[in-house]
Amino acid sequence: MRCLLLISLVLAGCVNLDIELTRPDPQVAAAKTGEDCAHAIVLPFLIGSLSVEQAMQQAGHYEGEVGYTKKFISTPITKLRQTTLTQFGTVFYTEVCVRATGE
């Protein structure tokens, strides 16, 4: 019973948000996705900075078969389709990411 109470208290503070910062551009294909993330552990201050330009530089796609043979090919985004702000957090950990999608 105590374990169930502890788990419910820890999970009561979970947050998972996806916020579209820009509307999707239908003329640009969603071929690549890149993310730039900042993290906070216990403290309310994020470690790192968020940048759409950095997310565009870290973009790429996976090539190959499903499983262990998949290889990540890093190719920066040149045309931006959509920008999304993603936040996941619990009582002790928070992650905020900017996701850039485009060609």
Taking only the tens place, the pLDDT of each residue in 37-83 is 998 887 677 788 889 999 999 888 777 776 667 777 888 999 999 99
The pLDDT score that the predictor gives to residue 47 is 81
Among the listed residues 1, 11, 19, the one whose alpha carbon sits nearest the alpha carbon of residue 86? 19
**Residue whose entry in the numeric block shows the structure tokens 């900075």:** 49
102 has a pLDDT exceeding 80: yes
The pLDDT score that the predictor gives to residue 70 is 76
35 has a pLDDT exceeding 70: yes
Taking only the tens place, the pLDDT of each residue in 91-100 is 788 889 999 9
> Does the model's pTM come out above 0.85?
no
From the CB of residue 12, how many other CB atoms can be counted at a distance below 10 Å? 9
